[in-house]
Structure 1
Amino acid sequence: MYKVEEITDEKGSFLVLKKADNTSEARISLEEGGRLQELIFKDVFLIKEQPNFNYKDSYASSILFPFASRIQEGKYSFRDEEYQFNLNETGKNALHGLVYNQKFELITKEENTNFCSVTIAYKEINESVGFPYRYEIYATYALSENNLSLSLKIKNTDSKAYPFILGWHPYFLSDDLSKSCLRFKSDKKIEFNESLITKKVIDHKTEEEFKIEDKQLDDCFILNSDIIEFNTPNYQIEISTNKIENYLQLYTPKGFSMIAIEPMTGVSNSFNNKIGLQVLEPNKTYSITWNVKLKNN
């Protein structure tokens, strides 16, 4: 049996999806953008809060909307209008969207023999700085013994169309990151400037087995498939999506044995370079699902 626990304490409001024997569990922070704080499969932590790794700096497991990564100087134009986001990256750029620090509300939950799930939502009824549109974002987390899915649905509740991309920012642990590797198909990557703003797309044949070793990563790849594998000494997972056009950001924070494996539908500065950028018309919706599947342990 799988259950959903609702917890409120001095640290905030949380939802815990768990198997009855506690061997599989997912913990969601409602007050931090509906992010996934912890993920356990078969008693092994894949995602876990780390000391001295503050969420306000790491954006760990945050949902990224209406943009992921950076907007250069927070400026963009859309349909002949100029816009300016707040600059939340040391006053230089706008970083990681507008919902990562919003409070989500529980909409529905389901408890079952083989899985449990919750749907949470944030509804923007005001015009945000730099993004004067109303929208609703729904996140559905579903947990089973070997699988966690995150399904996002965006609804345009405004009278005007708006641009957007979506991303997710989870950090995965490894007992030994230097002996871990990724597998994904890509023959193009993004070339950044010194501020991690997209300069151009370049040809880059990625090796079949992408070994992390001692690399300090902050790289973005254009994927040719919808599957990413991550293999560590103590677990192997597969991250997949139901969309065809996908981008992958990889980041290794110094001093931590973990890696951010970030699936995205666009790239850094997408509101200006248009790479992956989509437009959502009034009363329309856009949906995407990302799955994390334990392959073996």
Structure 2
Amino acid sequence: MLELKRDGQSLTILPETGAALGQWQVQGHEMLRPVANPALRNQKGVAVGAYPLLPYVNRIADGHFAFGGEEHRLVPNMGGCPHPIHGNGWEHEWQVAHRTDSHAILTFDHTPSDDEAGRGEWPYAYRAVMSYELRADGLHVSIVIRNSDTVDQPVGLGFHPFFHSEAKSRLKFAADSVWLTDGHGLPTEKKSCEGEWDFSKGQALEELKLDNGFAGFAGQVRLEQPGGLPDLTVEADRIFLHLVVFSQPEEGYVAIEPVTSMTDALNRPEIAGRGVHVLAPGQSLGGMIRFRADVSRRPAEG
């Protein structure tokens, strides 16, 4: 475990658990809400506050997709679900490439073996780089993926942080449309962000269960916490044109996930703006997400 510190903030990083974050503390406030998901077997029961999503985001239907004239079949990686989820970066140990008191860079290299099982995680070679930096204005997270294979490959990336959801928490963001989903979280119907799906003025999370992807994401989310925690602002680079919100009020958390593509994007070629990025050998894709806690109106705990 690594620990970074700066300006009243501390951050714990778990290189052995997919470069996940344990906790981000700001002026005595625990900003992340670590979650242990036993269905994600390769997290080995570790409670994580956030983790990277790559080389694809959310689910791929039945683990099947076609690209470059080839059919690919991925192995399920979440118990009870036939659809592989969130890539394979979270399943492996990462290497610490650089570290200061307030900044760490971690890397992961994936090289699929030639057998079917080895290609079941992801059939292409890539290198991923995560940068976690505490700055005066908050936590800055950079995610980069490079195609280290000899052929083109389709990629997606994102970040999956869990935050506390209190009795009066409110979520505010702008997006163009939302995907309704089936029982396994796959998109079924696209609707405009109107009425119950309009979050532009904020909506209470108290009884709102969500597991939906939003398209046309404007790049900023505001989580208002009237109960006691500092309000939180999430700002994402424009490459993250999609947002997944996974709200579980009975469990006391909400996941706010800026991502580059919609769920099952590899199997939705008919959808404009689905977000699949094709990298030639040696090409990279990346972006930054910034997290800022408003502690000005909150006394430190303890």
Q: TM-score, normalised by structure 1?
A: 0.86
Partner of 1:46: 31
Is 71-80 or 246-255 further displaced after alignment?
Answer: 246-255
Distance 1:83 1:250, change over 3 A: same
Post-superposition CA distance 1:101-137 (Å, at most 9, x none): 11111101234xxxx2111100123344243211110
User: Which runs of structure 2 are paired with 1:164-179 in the superposition (5 Å)?
Assistant: 164-174=155-165, 176=166, 178-179=167-168
TM-superposed deviation, 1:59: 6.8
Partner of 1:104: 94
Structure whose residues are more often strand by fraction: 1
The one-letter amino acid of 2:292's match is K
Query: Is contact 1:135–1:157 with CA below 8 Å preserved after alignment?
Result: yes
Partner of 2:144: 153
Is 1:29 aligned to 2:24, yes or no?
A: no
CA distance, structure 2, for counterparts of residue 230 and residue 30 of structure 1 = 28
Q: Which runs of 5+ in 1 are unaligned?
A: 1-13
Partner of 2:51: 62
Post-superposition CA distance 1:35-57 (Å, at most 9, x none): 1110111110011435x655557
User: Which runs of structure 2 are paired with 1:1-297 in the superposition (5 Å)?
Assistant: 14-19=1-6, 23-49=8-34, 54=38, 55=43, 60-89=49-78, 90-111=80-101, 116-127=102-113, 128-130=118-120, 131-174=122-165, 176=166, 178-205=167-194, 206-207=198-199, 208-233=201-226, 234-253=229-248, 255-274=250-269, 275-296=274-295, 297=298
Distance 1:181 1:42, change over 3 A: same
Q: Which runs of 5+ in 2 are unaligned?
A: none
Post-superposition CA distance 1:269-296 (Å, at most 9, x none): 1111141111111011111101101133
The one-letter amino acid of 1:204's match is C
TM-superposed deviation, 1:245: 4.8
Task: Report sequence identity in percent.
Answer: 21
Q: TM-score, normalised by structure 2?
A: 0.85
The one-letter amino acid of 2:3's match is V
TM-superposed deviation, 1:144: 2.5
SS of residue paired to 2:16: coil
Count of residue pairs the alignment pairs up: 275
Post-superposition CA distance 1:5-62 (Å, at most 9, x none): xxxxxxxxx1111137xx3111010011101110111110011435x65555787512
Post-superposition CA distance 1:195-233 (Å, at most 9, x none): 211224222221411221211121221244111111112
CA distance, structure 1, for counterparts of residue 54 and residue 9 of structure 2 = 28
TM-superposed deviation, 1:263: 1.0
CA distance, structure 1, for counterparts of residue 210 and residue 275 of structure 2 = 22
